[in-house]
Amino acid sequence: MKVLVDGQLIEYKKDGAGRAVLLLHGWGASLGTFDQLAAHLVKTGHLVYRFDFPGFGASPVPPRAWSVGDYAILTAAFIKKLKIKKLSAIFGHSFGGRVIIKATATSIIEPEKIVLMGAAGIKPPTTLKKHAYIAIAKVGKAATALPGMGRVRESLRGALYKSAGSTDYLLAGAMKETFVKTINEDLAGYLPHINTPTLLVWGEHDTETPLADGKRMQKELKKAELVVLPGAGHFVYSDDAAGTFSAIDRFLK
């Protein structure tokens, strides 16, 4: 289904009946990533909403580079547009977690509970190695811009961005500016302003949003519980669906 929200066309799904919950996907994903989780929540008595963020899935790219705040505002507008009067819980994975942190800390969204799964939002420290990679990428970009490099420019730039740890940026396409804008915002300072009961579900072997991020969020949030699932990675809700669903069921009750 499609709906126009503040001039932005949004692809969304609505399933089940009961207490309303909203699922927000991660960077590069779409609402389909939550098929299994949505089915479980429907079985446990929930009305499940989920949508493709602008620039992902079947929702068109926004007209300009968006910030985390823009996505938070869009999410609040979606809730209002679909007349969701009471949001029992809001779920976010990775980038979706960024949006939830910004939206709930600023009170533009007020769910009864929050579930963050491998949530992004804490900016990692820039290590000496990363500084070196960034320098290599910048020098390489300048070199590939020289006359006579046209035929090999794109493949060389691709290799350089990959060596600098910027594969996500390279694959972002029309969303590159939005990607840079969102990952450069450190949301750690927003965490103490969230009073909503929060469940943090983390994979033990998450390399995208390390477990250290989850532990810091637990420390900074006022009402947070951290569940760590052994053997699971960044996509914790699919790596260990049973463990994730068990933690969610207990938390929501």
Q: What is the pLDDT of residue 150?
A: 55
Domain at 2-123+185-252, CATH homologous superfamily: Alpha/Beta hydrolase fold, catalytic domain (3.40.50.1820)
| pLDDT exceeds cutoff 50 at 163 | no
Q: What is the pLDDT of residue 147?
A: 58
Q: How big is the CA angle at 78 (ends 114 and 185), to the nearest 5 degrees?
A: 60
Q: Tens of pLDDT along 71-106? A: 999 999 999 999 999 999 999 999 999 999 999 999
| pLDDT exceeds cutoff 50 at 132 | no
Q: What is the pLDDT of residue 125?
A: 79
Q: What is the pLDDT of residue 124?
A: 87
Burial class (CB in 10 A: 0-12, 13-18, 19+), 242: exposed
> pTM of the full predicted structure?
0.86
User: Quick one: pLDDT band at residue 129, thresholds 50, 70, 90?
Assistant: very low
Task: Give the integer Cα–Cα distance in Å for 187 and 170.
Answer: 24
Q: Tens of pLDDT along 182-222? A: 999 999 999 999 999 999 999 999 999 999 999 999 999 99
Task: Give the integer Cα–Cα distance in Å for 189 and 46.
Answer: 32
Domain boundaries of the chain, sorted by first residue = 2-123+185-252, 128-178
The predicted model gives 7-36 an average pLDDT of 98
The region, left, alpha or beta by phi > 0 then psi within -120 to 50, assigned to residue 40 is alpha
Task: Give the integer Cα–Cα distance in Å for 32 and 181.
Answer: 25
The predicted model gives 134-144 an average pLDDT of 50
**Mean of all residue pLDDT scores within the chain:** 89
Task: Give the integer Cα–Cα distance in Å for 148 and 251.
Answer: 61
